[in-house]
Structure 1
């Protein structure tokens, strides 16, 4: 009887010891999974554990696109390791004091699982983060060739929701891209053509946006008076400038002085040419007269009886 009682006591002691061991392991070994959301271009901080004095810390990053990477720290060697991680993924502080991870300028490619493994003397601690990245869409609102408002929410993740302030029966169209973003396009369809401003509202987890526009059907555009005033004003100035230049040029032509008339030059050679025939004639007469006088004197004849020349 005593031996049987001792066996029962020993069995109960073993069961209690096993239960205590399981409880301690359950308390010291954690496996938590948390979903976090970040926006493209922002910074994301992931904490591993508020506990310190860890002997080893390891971050395992497993993105949806691309290869895995890891960051590690060993306290016994005071050494950090980095494997295939970009500069945007790094320790926020010193890993021996705080093993928090920071992702700078989040991109869509960073989406995935981030697992922290912390080894301490009390046990191991595991924590898993599932990172979801949001990409806010780019809102564009314009009028098409038919004067219909068109609203576009480009490259959003997840796809944006488009609605109109005025009632519309349009069905949005979606276009998926390779990076996981989606572009949504919606045309406003109104039952009445008499409309003024139309407002497009884009709803998205990263933030809501809205824009307004006034579209008019072709042929009914209101005439902007500035379109005609400015060309007319320029035409008037141009005409006045041309008239002024023409008058100024005409006045210069009318008041232009004529050059003085130059008297014909009188050369001494011309005078000699005109006097020379008369001089020659006089010289010939003188020669004839002298010849007759000499002949008369030589013959002692009266001058009236001198032979005729």
Structure 2
């Protein structure tokens, strides 16, 4: 069984140990008044176009930021503001910007607080300047950003407790000019010209493609993709260009493939041939009908007409009238007949 006074002594000893460890850590830290509070807000502001000032300084610093490097892609033609580390300006001794650009000499911009003077070394680009007076805002600005501003920018802030750094790997982006056209041999060509960095080209549907890249002297890249869909019944294709500055899609209609063209021509030829045969057969049939009618008409005109046919009523009267019937003659008395015969003999 534990005694109450022993338990209390153990608790006091534990509290004293924690207090001593906390004080030792606090004594080992540098002067907190020089460092800005490293919160999520400060990180967001550091990546934005506006810089922090002394009103954001807090005495309760929870992180010790000595150096930071940021990769910053920015579109050509925009304005850029590069910020220094979040250090209270009243504690600064010197501010230096080091600028390393491609194919250009090392540039250095410095401000010395003691003499309140600025100095530049090998800095010839007039678009890279201080945002305002260095003693008020040590940030650097680029107005506007060009391809030649690709490079590394570092702000060094000298204070009694040491130097603090913040660097930027500035990557200037250039939007490519996208075109889609059909070549003479029937293939489709998609071109993303003068982009930075190089664009990615894909096709819908996928075909047999060849992609080429052409590098410009200013760091831009032209990508050309040539595709054909031999043996596939494809009427419309889509070229999709992916780039850091945004994506773009273009459509184009393709003519029928060679096999389809041949089949269509053969089909049309068969239809024309069938129509021609029908016309010829119809013409021959009409010609035969005309000849038959003419022959029949001539035969009808050459046949003689019988008298009985020309005088049907007279013939009918003669044959049907008893007066003209030779087989049914009227009988004469015999005495009269003898007398007639005697007279005939006498004559």
TM-score by length of structure 2 reads: 0.52
In the alignment, structure 1 residue 177 sits paired with structure 2 residue 213: no
Task: Tell me what 1:189 maps to.
Answer: 228
Give the distance between the partners of 1:199 and 1:35, measured in 2 at CA: 33
In the alignment, structure 1 residue 60 sits paired with structure 2 residue 98: yes
Match for residue 71 of structure 2 among 35, 38, 42: 35
Task: Tell me what 1:216 maps to.
Answer: 255
Give the distance between the partners of 1:20 and 1:67, measured in 2 at CA: 44
In the alignment, structure 1 residue 45 sits paired with structure 2 residue 84: no
In the alignment, structure 1 residue 128 sits paired with structure 2 residue 167: yes
Post-superposition shift, 1:192?
A: 4.2
TM-score by length of structure 1 reads: 0.58
Give the distance between the partners of 2:239 and 2:146, measured in 1 at CA: 28
Unaligned runs of 5+ in 2: 1-24, 36-63, 262-347
Report if aligned partners of 2:176, 2:196 keep a CA contact under 8 Å in 1.
yes
Structure 2 counterparts to residues 1-309 of structure 1, below 5 A? 23-24=29-30, 30-50=66-86, 51-53=88-90, 54-85=92-123, 86-192=125-231, 194-216=233-255
Post-superposition shift, 1:48?
A: 0.2
Give the distance between the partners of 1:199 and 1:147, measured in 2 at CA: 15
Report if aligned partners of 1:147, 1:217 keep a CA contact under 8 Å in 2.
no
How many residues were matched structurally? 203
Post-superposition shift, 1:41?
A: 1.8
Quickly say closer, same or farther: Cα 1:176–1:78, change in 2 above 3 A. same
Secondary structure in structure 1 of the residue aligned to 2:137? coil
Report if aligned partners of 1:29, 1:123 keep a CA contact under 8 Å in 2.
no
